[in-house]
Every structure is written in C-alpha cells, then in structure tokens.
A and B are shown apart, each in its own frame.
Chain A
C-alpha cells in the first residue's frame, strides 16, 4: 500500500478513494516477471545483487520480485528493507515517522543494489534512500525498480526497471496493492 504517499498527500489524515483500476492482478503478475527478467539480463545473472525494498510499499513489491527471481534463476535473494524517514528533506515541515525498522544485514560494499519501490513520484524518497545506503556501505551500482512511474519528478532521478508508466495529475494518488493498482484521490 502506498502509505507513504498517502500520508504526504493533502488533505492530511484523509481517506484514499479509488477512481480507476489501472492494473489488474494479472497485469501486476506479468509486470513483476518482466522486471525480474530485465534485472537478470542487465546484471548477467544475480551475482552480487542485493534486493532492498523501501518501507512500506516497496517491500511487498520486492518480495514478489524475489520470488520471481528465484523461480527463474534458482537463486534466493533475501529481501532487505530500508526506511528513509531520517534521511528525508522535509523533516520539520510535517510529521515524518518511520514505518518500520530498517533491516539491512548484508555488507553492501562492491554489491549491486536493486532498490525497489511501489510508486516513483517526485524522486525525493529515492534521494533519501541513496543517502541512507551510503551509511551502510559503498555499492558498486544502485539500480531502481518501481511498479509505477507516475511522473512529476523534482530531482534528476530515473528508474531502471518500470512496471508501468502512468501519466497522473499531481493531486491524484496511486495505490499499489496485492490485487492490482488503483488511481484515485484523498478525501476528508
């Protein structure tokens, strides 16, 4: 669930009201498998690849990617998780609390880190995640996999693996969940 985006979208404390279903369950499944193939193709296998899901929406996507990667390559990549709350640049502007404890167990020096998130929007979460990764080690490369790229970037950040490009209005909210992807708004 795009809890992070939902919390930061005005009106604060509102409820997400879905309007359109933009991806069905099967679409989600196919996108995961295609992205898994792309990750393997790009990296010539999975040697030295670490999978890190961003709390909270990215973790579920990362877990599904991990399952697909295992089915294709028979290599098991444990999903590690990262919460970027303490690295955000909007601390002090609004309440920013971590959703969960960060769990990065691997030594990231010299590894290829695939960051996974559900929705790529302004790019500020990814900026924060890149800063956070620096405190855990020096990866050889960082790649970004997102289920939905909804545009409206505020920083020079682009994804490497995309489930679906989805043109949106700024005030809309995208919700990625197990049964598909919805587009809607926050209402009081």
Chain B
C-alpha cells in the first residue's frame, strides 16, 4: 500500500488499508518496547509539525514517533511564529517546505486546512486534527487499542458518547470502526449531534442507560467547552447526570468491556474520576499505542518509495473526487 497523504480515514481505502496500518503498528510496538527504542528507517528525513491549535499529546506523540524513526523534527507553533505578524497558511506551508521537509503534520481549527496544505506542497501531509472534520491517526490508534484488548473489531458494539457534533475524533472513529465491521451507536442529547446524520453508518440513542449493557466499547468524548458558541446544554451538571460514565454505570459494564477517551479528560464531567483508573479503562494504552501508530503512518508515507504525484495532477484528482 502506498499513500501520498493521510488527510482522512478514507485515504487508506477501507478495511484492507486500515488493517495494513495496524499490522505495521505491531512491528513498531516491538520497537518501542526495546531498551533502545529507535530504528534508522527514516534517517535523513525531516518531519515538521505545524500546529495552529493547542495540543500536547498529539504533537509530542508525532515528534516522539519521528525521533524513534531517526527522522529530524521541526516544530512550529503559532504562538511564537510569524503567523502573529499576519502570514497566511499558504505562505507558512511553502516556507516550511522550502526548508526541506519531507512531511508536514498539520493541526488547524478550520476543517479542510490540511487538504489545502496538501494541494500546495509536495511534502507528505498528515492531518493531526482539523476543525470538526477528522483526526485520522487518533482513529487508527483507537482501532489498534481495541484490537489489542478484544482481538478485533468485527461485530463489536461500540458506543460513542458525548459531544459528537464538535468532534473530529468521532467522525474519524465512525469511519474506521464501521469499516472494520463494528456496529457504532452515537449516544448524545440531540443538541450535541450533527444536524444531519444522513449517510453515517450508525445508530443513535439519547439514553445511555438503555444501551450501556450491550456495549463492548464505551468511547467517551470530551465536552469541548471551547468550541461551544451557543447554549447547547442547560448545565454541565445535567449532562454529567445523564451521559457521564459514573461509577454506578461503569459497574453495569461487562468485565471485558473497554472504556476509552481521546483525552484530555474532564474528570468529573464525562467520566467519573475513579472510573478512568479502572482496569477496563484503556486510556493510557491509547496514548502508548499512539506513538507506534504514528510511526507506522510516517513510515508508510516516507519510507515506501514512489514519490508523490505532481501538485497539478493531485488537484485534478481531488476535484474529481469532490
């Protein structure tokens, strides 16, 4: 499998492509468990991270992944850059590319920003989260974590609970989980669901307590208070009462069930403080697997030969898809 960019889960071409990444991740998990967790695979390559939004774990995860592949890393954060002086996204991307980078990891608050960057530069572009759109490497590490705990995703019942509307993680997860054969149920109040779910391969519930007993995986989303511009909930406490994973609700889960969260957690809002530390919680595993998954993605993008097709062709290709 060769891919030029990873902008959305669909770029992997369905279940086979996702499985390829997960298989490759197995090899990188072995690498990260060694006393010297580093391989020379991407020596001489440079990976730049271009983050227009705050992030600790994703940025550190990508940079750790690049370093463990022996690539050089460059870090660009908006707070300390010429974006403050009014530089456009395009100029910033072209400037970074002119310094000789092979991959650019982009996070942006606007949906579609990484797609635009991919059209401007020849370097491989990885979407590290764009607006409400997608966060493909998060979905891949979620799939890997579920596969590690439960053996596979086929036939599983996965509940994605919370603020689906503002969640790029939910969009990528729905695409990846259903591609691998899981049945996904979105559990949220109507105001926190997207206006239209047409074409989403999901079921919807507004009542966590009725669907919880059948869940193999409970995936809690963070309440994204910084993205809420209107009053979507009466109070946060009411949300916690109806949709938070309390100790009492967690006790009704099967012993083999898995509790996940993309982080950062609001303990006491979507998840009770002590529930995050139960054996069923795979939240730390998710972070740990994130490095290996991102190593696999960078290796696939930079280590597998054929160069990216020229920019003009790519634009036509993208126009054809749209």
Binding site for B on A (CB under 8 A): 83, 85-87, 91-98, 100-103, 131-132, 135-136
Contacts and interface: CB of A to CB of B under 8 A. Distances in A.
A96 B40 contact: no
Contacts of A96: 303-305
B3 to A, nearest CB: 11
Contacts of A102: 27, 30
Given A91-B303, A102-B30, 17 more contacts: A85-B27, A86-B39, A86-B299, A91-B41, A92-B305, A95-B2, A96-B303, A96-B304, A97-B24, A97-B304, A98-B27, A101-B26, A101-B30, A102-B27, A103-B30, A131-B40, A135-B39
B101 interface: no
Nearest to B27: A98
A25 B305 CA distance: 38
A133 to B, nearest CB: 12
B231 interface: no
A89 to B, nearest CB: 9
Interface of B: 2, 24, 26-27, 29-31, 34, 36, 38-42, 69, 299, 302-306
Contacts of B31: 86
Contact of B34 (A83, A85, A131, A135): A135
Contacts of B38: 135
A135 B26 contact: no
B304 A86 contact: no
Nearest to A137: B35
Contacts of A86: 27, 31, 39-41, 69, 299
Nearest to B29: A101
Contacts of B42: 91
B305 A98 contact: no
A101 B29 CA distance: 9
A101 B27 contact: yes
A136 B40 contact: no
A91 B71 CA distance: 13
Contacts of B69: 86
- By Cβ-Cβ distance, the 9 closest A-B pairs, closest first, are A86-B39, A86-B41, A95-B304, A98-B27, A94-B305, A91-B303, A135-B36, A101-B26, A101-B30
A98 B29 CA distance: 13
A182 to B, nearest CB: 28
Nearest to A83: B27
B30 A92 contact: no
Nearest to A102: B30
Contacts of A100: 27
Contacts of B2: 95
Nearest to A131: B40
B304 A136 contact: no
Contacts of A85: 27, 41
Contacts of B29: 101
Contacts of B27: 83, 85-86, 98, 100-102
Among A92, A97, A102, max chain B CB count under 10 A is at A92
Contacts of B41: 85-87, 91
27 contacts: A85-B27, A85-B41, A86-B39, A86-B40, A86-B299, A87-B40, A87-B41, A91-B41, A92-B303, A92-B305, A93-B305, A94-B304, A94-B305, A95-B304, A95-B305, A96-B303, A96-B305, A97-B304, A98-B27, A101-B30, A102-B27, A102-B30, A103-B30, A132-B39, A135-B36, A135-B39, A136-B34
A119 to B, nearest CB: 22
A100 B26 CA distance: 8
Contacts of B306: 95
B12 to A, nearest CB: 14
Among A91, A135, A136, max chain B CB count under 10 A is at A91
Contacts of A132: 39
A98 B40 contact: no
A86 B38 CA distance: 10
Contacts of B30: 101-103
A87 to B, nearest CB: 6
A101 B42 CA distance: 18
B69 to A, nearest CB: 8
